[in-house]
């Protein structure tokens, strides 16, 4: 610091302590005329800082809390089939272990989990309200799912246990429980729309409440395996025996459901278009059927032995065990009753039955395939380390997915901003509102500080004249008043920080100010204090206010020393 600035700070410090006397009123002798003015200026700066600190803390807190809750129901990034507008209506995506290993090892990815969705209608448990139904969305998850968010918002019960693939446990929201009169431990009835309505029963083992009403009233967590079955993904194969004959022999037929209907059948000689064949067993036999379909339109000649172009669905395998008793090598001779081949069932399910074939008896045991739905999911959910790098991570993962051997499946990478675009646009508008408030409060502080500086210059007009008469330049005198104003600004900022941060900490600790969750998604006013933003706010306020003081200090250049010395 050079000598001129040392001199400036020395004089400014003396002026700050000086008693300014009003000579027109000798009774007020010794009164500090400038003190009320400096107090007003200090208070205005302090109030501006308080409002700005609380505004930033509330907006940041609100954005973080809402964002955290939305991500808690989903993820930062999802990978699904291209062209699907909604996660709830996505087409099946085949599970690929090498693909998930590659994605999960990408830098910045902290977790990956498979999920699937299925719309459902849940019925009220109350007898008098049996007709009350509610449309919800089942979110199927497995043991890989990260329950951290839901565990923090669990109100009663426990998290579902999906170690058993047939588990029917669900985690339901308090909002849905209230609407349908459910309680912990109840069995919930759910209906699913297919060719015919399907009823499934689920057991409520946990109740959550996040305060995010739009999601609480819609999402129910269940076993991923249940959703896979309900969505009819993959292939389901079984082998049946027709009720009629062909050329005097039984007809063995492959019954296949799922996929796009373009089924192919492997009876042991490779895939072909033939759904069945005639057969007369002469010994104990096991027939195996492998069924598959193709996701692309078939464009090859019917009966081609080559696999059609396009990607196949995961196949399913079914078996038919045939036991022959009696004269095995005798011709098969069947007697129809009313044109139907009679059979005797040996079990309640109808999987085992016998037929009389003349000199021998045939016993059949059908073993349906388990289905290949467990090989498919709706999408992958990914969590990333840094929210601020979300867009960059999306681009990076898009390139990674594009160059994998799954690129033929036309995978698409989407962020939570894409799935909840309206919500995040709304949250973005909060930044604009915050900027407007900060600017307005800063302008008010500048105006008040400028007014105070003008009054200080007015009451020290005589001093200015004396300084000019002894050779002080206009800039030297301007610096004196700017430094004096800067001290007032700094004092106001200190008080503003103490009060603003103090009030914020009280709200964090005790949650004094409450909110209506139906309107604001939260139960209390959220607060988040970002040290870097606070430092930036203080630095920006100090610099702008001090620079703004240069404008009113220009008045000093227009003061005549001769007139100023005579000024009373």
Q: With 70 as the cut, is the pLDDT of residue 107 above it? A: yes
At 348, is the pLDDT very low, low, confident or very high (cuts 50, 70, 90)?
A: confident
Q: Which pLDDT does position 84 carry in this prediction?
A: 59
The residues, any chain, with a CB within 8 Å of residue 205's CB and separated by 6 or more, are 157, 158, 159, 160, 161, 169, 170, 171, 184, 185
Percent of the chain at pLDDT > 90 equals 41
Task: State CA 233 to chain mean position distance.
Answer: 25
Q: Is the pLDDT of residue 301 over 50?
A: no
How many residues are listed for the chain in this entry?
A: 568
Could you tell me the two tokens for 57?
Answer: 């803390």
Average pLDDT, rounded, for the chain: 83
Higher pLDDT, 189 or 553: 189
Say if strands 109-123 and 379-384 run parallel, antiparallel, or are unpaired: antiparallel
- Mean pLDDT (whole number) for 21-25: 48
How many of the other CB atoms lie within 10 Å of CB of 559?
A: 18
The CA distance from 318 to 556, in Å, is 98
Tokens of 465: 């004249």
Most confident option among 34-43, 199-208, 306-315: 199-208
Residues 118-160 have pLDDT tens digits of 999 999 876 565 558 899 999 999 999 999 999 999 999 999 9
pLDDT band at 304 (very low <50, low <70, confident <90, very high): very low
State residue 33's pLDDT score.
55
> How far is 563 from 561, CA to CA, in rounded Å?
6
- Span 321-347, mean pLDDT? 90
pLDDT given for residue 497 in this prediction: 95
pLDDT tens digits for 206-230? 999 998 888 999 999 999 999 998 8
pTM of the model: 0.76
What is the mean pLDDT of the segment spanning 363-389? 91
Confidence class for position 29, pLDDT limits 50, 70, 90: very low
Residue 18 has what pLDDT? 55
The token pair that represents 217 in the structure block: 């009233």
Are 434 and 59 in contact, with CB atoms under 8 Å apart?
Answer: yes
Least confident range from 111-120, 138-147, 476-485: namely 476-485
Q: Span 551-564, mean pLDDT?
A: 67
Q: Hey, which residues does 321 pair with through a beta bridge?
A: 286, 365
Could you give the CA distance from residue 32 to residue 43 in angstroms, rounded to a whole number?
A: 18
Q: 339 with 56: CB under 8 angstroms? A: no
What confidence score (pLDDT) does residue 194 get?
74
Residues sharing a CB contact under 8 Å with residue 85, sequence separation 6 or more, in sequence order: none
pLDDT of 456 > 50? The answer is: yes
pLDDT tens digits, one per residue of 240-288: 999 988 888 999 999 998 777 788 899 988 888 889 999 999 999 999 9
Q: How confident is the model at residue 21 (pLDDT cuts 50, 70, 90)?
A: very low
Mean pLDDT, residues 59-68: 91
């Amino acid at each position: 610091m050079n000598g001129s600035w040392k001199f400036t700070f020395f004089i400014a410090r003396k002026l700050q302590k000086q008693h300014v006397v009003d000579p027109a009123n000798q009774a007020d002798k010794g009164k500090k005329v400038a003190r009320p003015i400096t107090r007003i200026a200090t208070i205005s700066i302090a109030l501006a800082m308080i409002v700005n600190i609380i505004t930033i803390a509330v907006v940041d807190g609100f954005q973080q809390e809402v964002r955290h809750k939305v991500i808690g129901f989903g993820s930062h990034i999802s990978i699904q089939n291209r062209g699907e507008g909604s996660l709830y209506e996505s087409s099946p995506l085949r599970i690929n272990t090498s693909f998930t290993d590659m994605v999960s090892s990408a830098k910045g990815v902290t977790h990956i989990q498979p999920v699937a969705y299925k719309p459902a209608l849940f019925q009220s448990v109350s007898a008098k309200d049996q007709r009350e139904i509610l449309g919800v969305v089942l979110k199927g998850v497995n043991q890989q799912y990260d329950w951290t968010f839901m565990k923090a918002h669990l109100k009663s019960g426990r998290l579902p246990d999906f170690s058993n693939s047939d588990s029917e446990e669900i985690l339901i929201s308090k909002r849905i429980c209230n609407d349908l009169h459910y309680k912990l431990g109840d069995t919930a009835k759910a209906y699913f729309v297919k060719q015919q309505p399907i009823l499934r029963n689920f057991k409520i083992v946990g109740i959550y409440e996040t305060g995010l009403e739009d999601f609480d009233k819609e999402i129910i967590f269940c076993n991923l395996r249940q959703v896979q079955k309900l969505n009819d993904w993959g292939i389901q194969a079984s082998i049946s025996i027709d009720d009629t004959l062909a050329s005097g022999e039984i007809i063995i037929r492959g019954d296949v459901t799922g996929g796009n209907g373009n089924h192919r059948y492997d009876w042991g000689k490779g895939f072909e278009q033939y759904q069945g064949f005639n057969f007369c067993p002469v010994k104990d036999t096991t027939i195996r059927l492998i069924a598959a379909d193709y996701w692309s339109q078939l464009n090859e000649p019917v009966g081609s032995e080559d696999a059609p172009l396009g990607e196949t669905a995961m196949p399913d395998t079914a078996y038919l065990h045939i036991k022959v008793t009696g004269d095995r090598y005798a011709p098969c001779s069947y007697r129809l009753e009313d044109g139907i081949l009679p059979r005797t069932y040996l079990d309640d399910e109808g999987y085992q039955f016998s037929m009389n074939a003349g000199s021998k008896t045939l016993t059949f045991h059908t073993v349906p395939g388990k289905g290949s739905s467990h090989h498919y999911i709706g999408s992958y959910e990914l969590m990333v380390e840094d929210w601020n790098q979300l867009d960059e991570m999306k681009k990076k993962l898009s390139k990674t997915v594009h160059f994998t051997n799954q690129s033929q499946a036309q995978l698409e990478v989407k962020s939570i901003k894409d799935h909840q675009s309206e919500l995040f646009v709304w949250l973005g508008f909060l930044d604009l509102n915050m900027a407007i408030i900060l600017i307005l409060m800063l302008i008010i502080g500048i105006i008040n500080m400028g007014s105070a500086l003008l009054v200080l210059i007015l009451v020290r007009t005589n001093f200015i004249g004396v300084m000019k008469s002894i050779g002080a330049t206009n800039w030297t005198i301007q610096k004196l008043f700017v430094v004096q104003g800067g001290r007032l600004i700094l004092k106001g900022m200190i008080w503003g920080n103490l009060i603003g941060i103090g009030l914020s900490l009280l709200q964090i600790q005790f949650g004094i100010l409450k909110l209506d969750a139906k309107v604001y998604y939260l139960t209390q006013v959220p607060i988040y204090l970002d040290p870097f933003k606070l430092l930036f706010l203080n630095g920006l306020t100090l610099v702008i206010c001090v620079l703004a003081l240069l404008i009113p200090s220009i008045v000093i250049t227009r003061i005549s020393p001769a007139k100023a010395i005579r000024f009373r």
